[in-house]
Structure 1
Amino acid sequence: MEQQHQCVCCPEAVLRVLTTMLHFQMLKSPAFMLLLVSGYLSLMGILIVFTYAAQFAMRKGLDPNSAKLVLSIIGISNTLGRAACGAISCLPQLDMNIVSWVTILLSGVSLIVAAFAYSKMLYVIACALFGFNLASFTVLRALVFVELFGLENLTNCFGLNMLFQSLSAFSSTPLANVILLYTGGFQAVFLFTGSALLLSGALLIPLKPVLKWERRNMNVTFS
Protein backbone atom coordinates (compact mmCIF):
# COMPACT_ATOMS: atom_id res chain seq x y z
CA MET A 1 0.00 0.00 0.00
CA GLU A 2 1.35 3.38 -1.02
CA GLN A 3 1.97 5.79 1.78
CA GLN A 4 0.71 9.30 1.41
CA HIS A 5 3.23 11.93 2.37
CA GLN A 6 1.56 14.92 3.91
CA CYS A 7 2.98 18.00 5.53
CA VAL A 8 2.18 17.86 9.23
CA CYS A 9 2.84 21.56 9.81
CA CYS A 10 0.66 22.71 6.91
CA PRO A 11 -2.44 20.56 6.22
CA GLU A 12 -3.66 20.02 2.68
CA ALA A 13 -6.69 22.26 3.20
CA VAL A 14 -4.45 25.17 4.23
CA LEU A 15 -2.13 24.58 1.28
CA ARG A 16 -5.10 24.57 -1.06
CA VAL A 17 -6.31 27.92 0.29
CA LEU A 18 -2.83 29.45 0.07
CA THR A 19 -2.40 28.20 -3.48
CA THR A 20 -5.69 29.80 -4.45
CA MET A 21 -5.02 33.13 -2.74
CA LEU A 22 -1.34 33.51 -3.66
CA HIS A 23 -1.43 33.10 -7.44
CA PHE A 24 2.09 34.40 -8.07
CA GLN A 25 1.62 34.29 -11.84
CA MET A 26 -0.28 37.56 -11.42
CA LEU A 27 2.91 39.29 -10.29
CA LYS A 28 4.03 39.21 -13.92
CA SER A 29 1.33 41.77 -14.67
CA PRO A 30 2.71 45.36 -14.63
CA ALA A 31 -0.80 46.74 -14.05
CA PHE A 32 -1.36 44.48 -11.05
CA MET A 33 2.05 45.41 -9.64
CA LEU A 34 1.11 49.09 -9.88
CA LEU A 35 -1.97 48.34 -7.77
CA LEU A 36 0.04 46.38 -5.20
CA VAL A 37 2.74 49.04 -4.80
CA SER A 38 0.06 51.73 -4.57
CA GLY A 39 -1.68 49.74 -1.83
CA TYR A 40 1.63 49.29 0.00
CA LEU A 41 2.21 53.06 0.04
CA SER A 42 -1.38 53.90 0.98
CA LEU A 43 -1.41 51.59 3.99
CA MET A 44 1.95 53.01 5.01
CA GLY A 45 0.34 56.44 5.10
CA ILE A 46 -2.55 55.24 7.24
CA LEU A 47 -0.35 53.50 9.80
CA ILE A 48 2.19 56.30 10.14
CA VAL A 49 -0.47 58.98 10.56
CA PHE A 50 -2.35 57.04 13.23
CA THR A 51 0.95 56.47 15.05
CA TYR A 52 2.18 60.08 15.06
CA ALA A 53 -0.83 62.37 14.51
CA ALA A 54 -1.47 62.95 18.23
CA GLN A 55 2.20 63.61 19.02
CA PHE A 56 2.49 66.05 16.12
CA ALA A 57 -0.69 67.77 17.33
CA MET A 58 0.96 68.42 20.69
CA ARG A 59 3.94 69.93 18.87
CA LYS A 60 1.42 72.21 17.14
CA GLY A 61 0.23 73.44 20.54
CA LEU A 62 -2.73 71.21 21.39
CA ASP A 63 -3.02 69.89 24.93
CA PRO A 64 -2.75 66.08 25.34
CA ASN A 65 -6.51 65.50 25.60
CA SER A 66 -7.26 67.58 22.51
CA ALA A 67 -4.39 65.91 20.65
CA LYS A 68 -5.94 62.50 21.27
CA LEU A 69 -9.19 63.79 19.78
CA VAL A 70 -7.38 64.26 16.46
CA LEU A 71 -7.35 60.47 16.08
CA SER A 72 -11.09 60.36 16.74
CA ILE A 73 -11.65 63.10 14.17
CA ILE A 74 -9.66 61.15 11.58
CA GLY A 75 -11.68 58.03 12.39
CA ILE A 76 -15.03 59.83 12.16
CA SER A 77 -14.13 61.52 8.88
CA ASN A 78 -12.93 58.18 7.54
CA THR A 79 -16.28 56.63 8.43
CA LEU A 80 -18.07 59.43 6.57
CA GLY A 81 -15.73 58.91 3.63
CA ARG A 82 -16.53 55.22 3.52
CA ALA A 83 -20.24 56.00 3.46
CA ALA A 84 -19.67 58.45 0.61
CA CYS A 85 -17.60 55.89 -1.31
CA GLY A 86 -20.31 53.30 -0.81
CA ALA A 87 -22.87 55.73 -2.23
CA ILE A 88 -20.87 56.69 -5.32
CA SER A 89 -19.94 53.06 -6.00
CA CYS A 90 -23.60 52.58 -6.95
CA LEU A 91 -23.16 55.00 -9.86
CA PRO A 92 -22.16 52.87 -12.88
CA GLN A 93 -21.01 55.87 -14.93
CA LEU A 94 -18.17 56.61 -12.52
CA ASP A 95 -14.74 55.06 -13.02
CA MET A 96 -13.75 53.68 -9.61
CA ASN A 97 -10.06 53.80 -10.46
CA ILE A 98 -10.27 57.54 -11.18
CA VAL A 99 -12.12 58.10 -7.90
CA SER A 100 -9.41 56.10 -6.12
CA TRP A 101 -6.39 57.98 -7.44
CA VAL A 102 -8.03 61.40 -7.07
CA THR A 103 -8.90 60.80 -3.42
CA ILE A 104 -5.51 59.27 -2.62
CA LEU A 105 -3.77 62.28 -4.17
CA LEU A 106 -5.97 64.58 -2.08
CA SER A 107 -5.07 62.64 1.07
CA GLY A 108 -1.38 63.15 0.27
CA VAL A 109 -1.93 66.88 -0.24
CA SER A 110 -3.81 66.99 3.08
CA LEU A 111 -0.81 65.55 4.93
CA ILE A 112 1.58 68.02 3.34
CA VAL A 113 -0.77 70.84 4.39
CA ALA A 114 -0.84 69.35 7.91
CA ALA A 115 2.96 69.32 7.98
CA PHE A 116 3.12 73.05 7.25
CA ALA A 117 -0.06 74.02 9.15
CA TYR A 118 0.46 77.37 10.87
CA SER A 119 -2.51 76.94 13.22
CA LYS A 120 -4.01 74.19 15.32
CA MET A 121 -7.35 74.43 13.49
CA LEU A 122 -5.75 74.07 10.06
CA TYR A 123 -3.88 70.99 11.27
CA VAL A 124 -7.09 69.37 12.54
CA ILE A 125 -8.95 70.18 9.30
CA ALA A 126 -6.11 68.75 7.21
CA CYS A 127 -6.12 65.54 9.26
CA ALA A 128 -9.90 65.26 8.88
CA LEU A 129 -9.59 65.64 5.09
CA PHE A 130 -6.89 62.98 5.11
CA GLY A 131 -9.20 60.53 6.85
CA PHE A 132 -12.13 61.32 4.56
CA ASN A 133 -10.21 60.99 1.30
CA LEU A 134 -8.27 57.86 2.17
CA ALA A 135 -11.51 55.96 2.81
CA SER A 136 -11.51 55.05 -0.89
CA PHE A 137 -8.42 52.91 -0.34
CA THR A 138 -10.35 50.33 1.65
CA VAL A 139 -13.83 50.69 0.15
CA LEU A 140 -13.10 50.84 -3.57
CA ARG A 141 -10.12 48.49 -3.83
CA ALA A 142 -12.26 45.38 -4.35
CA LEU A 143 -14.29 47.15 -7.04
CA VAL A 144 -11.11 48.14 -8.87
CA PHE A 145 -9.87 44.54 -8.71
CA VAL A 146 -13.11 43.24 -10.21
CA GLU A 147 -13.30 46.00 -12.81
CA LEU A 148 -9.77 45.40 -14.08
CA PHE A 149 -9.12 41.70 -13.51
CA GLY A 150 -12.56 40.09 -13.29
CA LEU A 151 -14.65 38.68 -10.48
CA GLU A 152 -13.08 35.23 -10.93
CA ASN A 153 -9.69 36.65 -9.87
CA LEU A 154 -10.89 38.61 -6.83
CA THR A 155 -9.61 36.01 -4.35
CA ASN A 156 -6.18 35.93 -6.02
CA CYS A 157 -6.01 39.72 -6.08
CA PHE A 158 -6.92 40.00 -2.40
CA GLY A 159 -4.45 37.32 -1.36
CA LEU A 160 -1.48 39.06 -2.96
CA ASN A 161 -2.79 42.44 -1.86
CA MET A 162 -2.84 41.25 1.76
CA LEU A 163 0.73 39.99 1.35
CA PHE A 164 1.93 43.42 0.25
CA GLN A 165 -0.09 45.14 2.96
CA SER A 166 1.51 42.93 5.59
CA LEU A 167 4.91 44.06 4.30
CA SER A 168 3.70 47.64 4.60
CA ALA A 169 2.53 47.08 8.18
CA PHE A 170 5.89 45.52 9.01
CA SER A 171 8.03 48.31 7.54
CA SER A 172 6.03 51.56 7.84
CA THR A 173 6.49 52.49 11.49
CA PRO A 174 10.20 51.50 11.68
CA LEU A 175 10.84 53.59 8.56
CA ALA A 176 9.05 56.56 10.11
CA ASN A 177 11.09 56.09 13.29
CA VAL A 178 14.31 56.28 11.28
CA ILE A 179 13.15 59.53 9.66
CA LEU A 180 12.18 60.92 13.07
CA LEU A 181 15.54 59.89 14.53
CA TYR A 182 17.59 61.63 11.84
CA THR A 183 15.44 64.76 11.47
CA GLY A 184 14.20 65.20 15.02
CA GLY A 185 10.80 66.46 13.91
CA PHE A 186 7.40 65.13 12.92
CA GLN A 187 7.18 67.52 9.98
CA ALA A 188 9.62 65.41 7.97
CA VAL A 189 7.62 62.28 8.80
CA PHE A 190 4.40 63.87 7.53
CA LEU A 191 6.13 65.19 4.42
CA PHE A 192 7.47 61.73 3.69
CA THR A 193 4.05 60.16 4.25
CA GLY A 194 2.30 62.76 2.11
CA SER A 195 4.83 62.20 -0.67
CA ALA A 196 4.28 58.43 -0.43
CA LEU A 197 0.53 58.96 -0.85
CA LEU A 198 1.08 61.27 -3.82
CA LEU A 199 3.18 58.54 -5.41
CA SER A 200 0.52 55.97 -4.53
CA GLY A 201 -2.16 57.98 -6.31
CA ALA A 202 0.09 58.74 -9.28
CA LEU A 203 0.76 55.02 -9.81
CA LEU A 204 -2.96 54.46 -10.40
CA ILE A 205 -3.31 57.12 -13.11
CA PRO A 206 -1.83 55.04 -15.99
CA LEU A 207 -3.39 51.80 -14.74
CA LYS A 208 -5.91 51.22 -17.52
CA PRO A 209 -3.55 52.16 -20.41
CA VAL A 210 -0.91 49.84 -18.94
CA LEU A 211 -3.48 47.04 -18.69
CA LYS A 212 -4.53 47.55 -22.32
CA TRP A 213 -0.90 47.48 -23.47
CA GLU A 214 -0.28 44.41 -21.34
CA ARG A 215 -3.16 42.48 -22.89
CA ARG A 216 -1.96 43.35 -26.39
CA ASN A 217 1.72 42.58 -25.92
CA MET A 218 2.16 40.21 -22.98
CA ASN A 219 1.04 36.66 -22.30
CA VAL A 220 -0.12 37.07 -18.70
CA THR A 221 -2.84 34.75 -17.45
CA PHE A 222 -4.86 35.44 -14.30
CA SER A 223 -6.75 32.18 -13.91
Structure 2
Amino acid sequence: MMNFSLLKDMIFLVFTISNFCTSIGFNIPYVYIPAHAKILGMSKTQGSYLISAIGVANTVGRIILGYIADKPWVNRLLIYNVCLTACGVATTMVPLCTDFNSLLIYCCVFGFTIGAYVGLTSVILVDLLGLDKLTNAFGLLLLFQGIASFIGAPIGGFMFDIKHSYNPAFVMAGLMIAVSGLVMFAIPPMQRYQARKPDPKLNGEQIALS
Protein backbone atom coordinates (compact mmCIF):
# COMPACT_ATOMS: atom_id res chain seq x y z
CA MET A 1 0.00 0.00 0.00
CA MET A 2 2.95 2.34 0.57
CA ASN A 3 5.23 1.90 -2.40
CA PHE A 4 7.99 4.43 -1.69
CA SER A 5 9.82 3.37 -4.87
CA LEU A 6 7.49 5.78 -6.68
CA LEU A 7 9.61 8.59 -5.22
CA LYS A 8 12.38 7.48 -7.60
CA ASP A 9 10.17 8.65 -10.45
CA MET A 10 11.21 12.26 -11.07
CA ILE A 11 7.82 13.22 -12.51
CA PHE A 12 6.01 11.90 -9.46
CA LEU A 13 8.58 13.56 -7.19
CA VAL A 14 7.94 16.95 -8.83
CA PHE A 15 4.20 16.43 -8.45
CA THR A 16 4.68 15.51 -4.78
CA ILE A 17 6.75 18.64 -4.13
CA SER A 18 4.07 20.71 -5.86
CA ASN A 19 1.31 19.18 -3.72
CA PHE A 20 3.35 19.70 -0.56
CA CYS A 21 3.79 23.40 -1.34
CA THR A 22 0.10 23.80 -2.22
CA SER A 23 -1.00 22.12 1.00
CA ILE A 24 1.14 24.47 3.10
CA GLY A 25 -0.79 27.47 1.79
CA PHE A 26 -4.14 25.77 1.15
CA ASN A 27 -5.72 26.21 4.59
CA ILE A 28 -4.45 29.67 5.45
CA PRO A 29 -7.20 31.65 3.65
CA TYR A 30 -9.88 29.42 5.21
CA VAL A 31 -8.43 29.82 8.71
CA TYR A 32 -7.36 33.47 8.73
CA ILE A 33 -9.64 35.39 6.36
CA PRO A 34 -12.27 36.16 9.05
CA ALA A 35 -9.63 37.30 11.57
CA HIS A 36 -7.88 39.34 8.88
CA ALA A 37 -11.18 40.99 7.96
CA LYS A 38 -11.82 41.81 11.62
CA ILE A 39 -8.44 43.55 11.90
CA LEU A 40 -9.42 45.63 8.86
CA GLY A 41 -12.54 46.76 10.70
CA MET A 42 -15.11 44.44 9.17
CA SER A 43 -17.87 42.69 11.09
CA LYS A 44 -18.12 38.99 11.91
CA THR A 45 -20.99 38.75 9.43
CA GLN A 46 -18.80 40.10 6.64
CA GLY A 47 -16.05 37.64 7.65
CA SER A 48 -18.52 34.76 7.37
CA TYR A 49 -19.60 36.03 3.95
CA LEU A 50 -15.98 35.83 2.81
CA ILE A 51 -15.73 32.18 3.89
CA SER A 52 -19.05 31.48 2.16
CA ALA A 53 -17.73 33.12 -1.02
CA ILE A 54 -14.72 30.79 -1.01
CA GLY A 55 -16.99 27.78 -0.59
CA VAL A 56 -19.41 28.77 -3.36
CA ALA A 57 -16.61 29.70 -5.77
CA ASN A 58 -14.80 26.46 -4.95
CA THR A 59 -17.90 24.39 -5.74
CA VAL A 60 -18.41 26.23 -9.02
CA GLY A 61 -14.71 25.93 -9.85
CA ARG A 62 -14.64 22.18 -9.31
CA ILE A 63 -17.65 21.67 -11.55
CA ILE A 64 -16.52 23.98 -14.36
CA LEU A 65 -12.86 22.96 -14.31
CA GLY A 66 -13.80 19.30 -14.09
CA TYR A 67 -16.17 19.66 -17.04
CA ILE A 68 -13.54 21.45 -19.13
CA ALA A 69 -10.79 19.00 -18.15
CA ASP A 70 -13.00 16.11 -19.28
CA LYS A 71 -12.81 17.27 -22.90
CA PRO A 72 -10.33 15.18 -24.96
CA TRP A 73 -8.80 18.22 -26.63
CA VAL A 74 -7.97 19.96 -23.33
CA ASN A 75 -4.53 19.91 -21.74
CA ARG A 76 -5.49 19.09 -18.15
CA LEU A 77 -1.98 19.61 -16.82
CA LEU A 78 -1.86 23.11 -18.26
CA ILE A 79 -5.20 24.02 -16.64
CA TYR A 80 -3.94 22.69 -13.31
CA ASN A 81 -0.66 24.61 -13.53
CA VAL A 82 -2.24 27.90 -14.60
CA CYS A 83 -4.93 27.74 -11.91
CA LEU A 84 -2.43 27.08 -9.10
CA THR A 85 -0.11 29.83 -10.30
CA ALA A 86 -2.99 32.31 -10.56
CA CYS A 87 -4.26 31.26 -7.13
CA GLY A 88 -0.83 31.85 -5.60
CA VAL A 89 -0.40 35.25 -7.24
CA ALA A 90 -3.86 36.32 -6.06
CA THR A 91 -3.10 35.21 -2.50
CA THR A 92 0.15 37.20 -2.36
CA MET A 93 -1.93 40.30 -3.21
CA VAL A 94 -4.19 40.00 -0.14
CA PRO A 95 -2.23 42.76 1.67
CA LEU A 96 -3.47 45.11 -1.06
CA CYS A 97 -7.10 44.22 -0.31
CA THR A 98 -8.15 46.67 2.38
CA ASP A 99 -11.95 46.66 2.04
CA PHE A 100 -14.73 44.10 1.92
CA ASN A 101 -15.28 44.22 -1.84
CA SER A 102 -11.64 43.61 -2.73
CA LEU A 103 -11.41 40.76 -0.23
CA LEU A 104 -14.63 39.30 -1.66
CA ILE A 105 -13.13 39.34 -5.16
CA TYR A 106 -10.01 37.63 -3.84
CA CYS A 107 -12.05 34.95 -2.07
CA CYS A 108 -13.94 34.21 -5.29
CA VAL A 109 -10.70 33.96 -7.27
CA PHE A 110 -9.06 31.78 -4.62
CA GLY A 111 -12.05 29.48 -4.28
CA PHE A 112 -12.44 29.01 -8.04
CA THR A 113 -8.78 28.43 -8.89
CA ILE A 114 -7.98 26.20 -5.91
CA GLY A 115 -10.78 23.96 -7.18
CA ALA A 116 -8.28 22.62 -9.72
CA TYR A 117 -6.07 21.36 -6.89
CA VAL A 118 -8.86 19.38 -5.29
CA GLY A 119 -10.71 18.29 -8.41
CA LEU A 120 -7.91 17.45 -10.83
CA THR A 121 -5.19 15.89 -8.66
CA SER A 122 -6.27 12.29 -9.17
CA VAL A 123 -6.89 12.86 -12.88
CA ILE A 124 -3.43 14.36 -13.33
CA LEU A 125 -1.90 11.42 -11.46
CA VAL A 126 -3.51 8.99 -13.91
CA ASP A 127 -2.31 11.06 -16.86
CA LEU A 128 1.26 11.12 -15.52
CA LEU A 129 1.68 7.62 -14.06
CA GLY A 130 -1.13 5.47 -15.40
CA LEU A 131 -4.20 3.98 -13.76
CA ASP A 132 -2.33 0.98 -12.33
CA LYS A 133 -0.22 3.24 -10.06
CA LEU A 134 -3.05 5.53 -8.93
CA THR A 135 -3.74 3.83 -5.58
CA ASN A 136 -0.15 3.82 -4.34
CA ALA A 137 0.66 7.24 -5.81
CA PHE A 138 -2.44 8.87 -4.30
CA GLY A 139 -1.69 7.31 -0.90
CA LEU A 140 1.83 8.73 -0.88
CA LEU A 141 0.53 12.07 -2.09
CA LEU A 142 -1.98 12.24 0.76
CA LEU A 143 0.81 11.50 3.23
CA PHE A 144 2.77 14.57 2.15
CA GLN A 145 -0.40 16.66 1.85
CA GLY A 146 -1.30 15.78 5.42
CA ILE A 147 2.11 16.78 6.76
CA ALA A 148 2.00 20.09 4.88
CA SER A 149 -1.57 20.84 5.97
CA PHE A 150 -0.57 20.12 9.57
CA ILE A 151 2.25 22.68 9.57
CA GLY A 152 0.83 25.33 7.20
CA ALA A 153 -1.69 27.12 9.43
CA PRO A 154 0.59 27.07 12.53
CA ILE A 155 3.34 28.72 10.48
CA GLY A 156 0.85 31.45 9.57
CA GLY A 157 -0.07 31.86 13.23
CA PHE A 158 3.60 32.07 14.18
CA MET A 159 4.06 34.85 11.62
CA PHE A 160 1.11 36.71 13.11
CA ASP A 161 2.63 36.46 16.59
CA ILE A 162 5.79 38.10 15.28
CA LYS A 163 4.33 40.76 12.97
CA HIS A 164 0.85 41.20 14.52
CA SER A 165 -0.54 41.04 11.01
CA TYR A 166 -1.87 38.25 8.80
CA ASN A 167 -0.32 39.77 5.67
CA PRO A 168 2.94 37.77 5.99
CA ALA A 169 0.92 34.55 6.30
CA PHE A 170 -1.00 35.29 3.11
CA VAL A 171 2.18 36.24 1.26
CA MET A 172 3.83 33.01 2.39
CA ALA A 173 0.78 30.97 1.39
CA GLY A 174 0.62 32.69 -1.99
CA LEU A 175 4.29 32.09 -2.70
CA MET A 176 3.95 28.40 -1.79
CA ILE A 177 0.91 27.93 -4.02
CA ALA A 178 2.47 29.88 -6.90
CA VAL A 179 5.67 27.83 -6.65
CA SER A 180 3.59 24.65 -6.65
CA GLY A 181 2.06 25.70 -9.96
CA LEU A 182 5.30 26.90 -11.53
CA VAL A 183 7.30 23.74 -10.77
CA MET A 184 4.64 21.71 -12.57
CA PHE A 185 5.58 23.42 -15.84
CA ALA A 186 8.79 21.36 -15.68
CA ILE A 187 6.86 18.12 -16.18
CA PRO A 188 6.21 18.33 -19.97
CA PRO A 189 9.95 18.77 -20.77
CA MET A 190 10.71 15.88 -18.42
CA GLN A 191 8.16 13.72 -20.22
CA ARG A 192 9.71 14.58 -23.59
CA TYR A 193 13.16 13.75 -22.24
CA GLN A 194 11.99 10.39 -20.92
CA ALA A 195 10.32 9.63 -24.26
CA ARG A 196 13.60 10.23 -26.11
CA LYS A 197 15.64 8.28 -23.55
CA PRO A 198 16.49 4.75 -24.79
CA ASP A 199 14.95 1.86 -22.84
CA PRO A 200 17.81 -0.07 -21.13
CA LYS A 201 15.74 -3.29 -21.08
CA LEU A 202 15.10 -3.05 -24.80
CA ASN A 203 18.78 -2.38 -25.50
CA GLY A 204 19.77 -5.38 -23.38
CA GLU A 205 17.41 -7.63 -25.33
CA GLN A 206 18.81 -6.35 -28.63
CA ILE A 207 22.36 -7.07 -27.47
CA ALA A 208 21.40 -10.58 -26.34
CA LEU A 209 19.76 -11.33 -29.71
CA SER A 210 22.78 -10.09 -31.63
Shift of 1:184: 1.5
Partner Cα distance (2:50, 2:198) in 1:
48
- Cα offset, 1:36, TM superposition: 0.8
Task: Decide which of 70, 81, 87 is 1:101's aligned counterpart.
Answer: 81
Task: Give how far 1:151 is off.
Answer: 0.8
Do structure 1's residue 184 and structure 2's residue 160 form an aligned pair? no
| 2:119 is equivalent to residue 139 of structure 1 | yes
Q: 1:217 to 1:188 in 2, by over 3 A?
A: farther
Give the RMSD, CA atoms, in angstroms: 1.6
Paired residue secondary structure (1:62): coil
Does the Cα contact within 8 Å between 1:44 and 1:169 map onto a contact in 2?
A: yes
Asked whether the equivalents of residues 30 and 214 of structure 1 are also in contact (C-alpha less than 8 Å), the reply is no
SS at match of 1:67: helix
Residue 56 of structure 1 corresponds to 36
Q: Quick one: which amino acid aligns to residue 141 of structure 1?
A: T
Shift of 1:130: 0.4
Q: CA deviation at 1:177?
A: 1.7
When residues 218 and 173 of structure 1 are mapped into structure 2, their CA distance, relative to the original with a 3 A threshold, is farther
Q: Deviations over 1:140-180 (max 9, x none)?
A: 11111111111111111101101101111221122112211
Q: Is the 8 A contact 1:103 1:134 kept in 2?
A: yes
Structure 1: how far apart are the matches of 2:120 and 2:102? 28
Contact 1:145 1:157 in 2 (8 A): yes
Q: 2:123 is paired with a residue of what secondary structure?
A: helix
Relative to structure 2, which stretch is displaced further, 118-127 or 146-155? 118-127
Superposed CA deviations along residues 191-216 of structure 1, whole A, max 9, x for unmatched, are 11111111011111111212343462
| Aligned residues of 2:26 and 2:177 also touching (Cα < 8 A) | no
**What amino acid does structure 2 have at the position aligned with 1:154?**
L
**After the TM superposition, which segments of 4 or more aligned residues of structure 1 sit over 3 Å from their partners?**
none
Structure 2 counterpart of 1:35, from 7, 15, 20: 15
TM-superposition CA deviations, 1:3-28 (whole Å, max 9, x none): xxxxxxxxxxxxxxxxx3x1111101
Task: Tell me the distance in 2 between the aligned counterparts of 1:169 and 1:122.
Answer: 26
Distance in structure 1 (CA, Å) of the matches to 2:19 and 2:149: 11
User: What is aligned with 1:4?
Assistant: none
- TM-score, normalisation: structure 1: 0.84
Corresponding letter in the other structure for 2:174: G
State the identity as a percent: 25
Query: Are positions 1:114 and 2:94 aligned together?
Result: yes
* Separation in 2, partners of 1:208, 1:157: 19
User: Deviation at 1:120?
Assistant: 2.0
Distance 1:108 1:195 in 2: 6
Q: Give the 3-state SS of the residue equivalent to 2:93 in structure 1.
A: helix
Alignment of structure 1 residues 6-85 onto 2, 5 Å = 20=1, 22-85=2-65
Question: 2 CA distance for matches of 1:70 and 1:160?
Answer: 33
CA deviation vs aligned residue, 1:107-153 (integer Å, no higher than 9, x gap): 11221222211332111111110010010001111111111111111
